[in-house]
Structure formats: structure tokens, C-alpha cells
């Protein structure tokens, strides 16, 4: 059963966000046909920790990462990837430095050497 994924995260309380994450983990665990004990073993944590998050209780960030790794869901953390962005001013400076025309000067060819 799919839950509504159009959450307004900003309007939710911290407890509601934790409960939503717990529901997601539980749903993914069941889709992969894993028991809480099996998932806990694969994640290297206690089964109680799995139970905690699935019941809407807080767990550590490290435990969450271990659970996501065991469920092969680390890709959902891609949103935190930092990409270097060029500012508009730096981009304009780079465009100014770009060669606009040829100078017409010929580069002297290097003489061939006999081997």
C-alpha cells in the first residue's frame, strides 16, 4: 500500500516527520520481505532500533544510515550532494576571457629531426 508522498515537510512537526520516515522504512522493509531481526542483523544494529523508528521514535543519524544501507536505499541521500556552482559574475568574467578572434600570427613549425 502506497502512502501519500506529497508531504508538506515544513508544516509537519518533528515527531510527524520521524513517524513518516519510520513508515517509509517499514514499507521498504516489507517490500524486500525482511523481518526486523534480519534487517537489524544486516544493518549491524539492534532489532529494538528498527522497532523504534518504525514506531515513530527517534534514532541516531548513524542508525538511520545503517538501515538505509541495509535496505540499499542510500541513494535517497543524493539530495544532500553539494555541487559547485559558478556565480553569474564569475561566469561573465570567464566569457570575457574567451578568445573572440584569431591573431593572424603563425606559429613557427618545429624542424623535423632525423632519428
CATH code assigned at 19:
1.10.260.40
pLDDT of the chain, 115 residues: tens digit per residue: 444 556 798 999 999 999 999 999 999 999 999 999 999 999 999 999 999 999 999 999 999 999 999 999 999 999 888 877 777 787 777 777 777 777 777 666 666 666 6
Residue identified by cell 542510500 is: 74
Contact indicator for 42, 73 with CB cutoff of 8 Å: no
Is 64 a domain residue? Answer: yes
Is 102 a domain residue? Answer: no
Is 71 a domain residue? Answer: yes
Is 100 a domain residue? Answer: no
Is 33 a domain residue? Answer: yes
HSE-CB for 26 with a 13 A CA cutoff: 17
- Specify the pTM: 0.67
Is 90 a domain residue? Answer: no
Is 29 a domain residue? Answer: yes
Is 109 a domain residue? Answer: no
Domain containing residue 64: 10-82
- The domain total for the chain is 1
Amino acid at each position: 500500500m502506497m502512502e501519500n508522498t506529497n508531504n508538506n515537510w515544513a508544516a509537519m512537526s518533528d515527531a510527524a516527520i520521524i513517524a513518516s520516515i519510520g513508515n517509509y522504512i517499514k514499507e521498504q522493509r516489507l517490500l524486500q520481505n525482511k523481518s526486523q531481526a534480519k534487517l537489524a542483523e544486516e544493518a549491524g544494529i539492534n532489532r529494538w532500533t528498527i522497532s523504534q523508528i518504525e514506531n515513530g521514535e527517534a534514532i541516531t543519524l548513524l542508525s538511520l544510515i545503517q538501515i538505509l544501507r541495509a535496505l540499499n536505499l542510500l541513494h535517497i541521500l543524493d539530495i544532500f550532494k553539494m555541487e559547485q556552482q559558478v556565480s553569474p559574475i564569475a561566469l561573465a568574467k570567464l566569457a570575457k576571457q574567451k578568445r573572440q578572434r584569431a591573431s593572424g600570427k603563425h606559429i613557427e613549425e618545429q624542424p623535423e629531426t632525423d632519428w
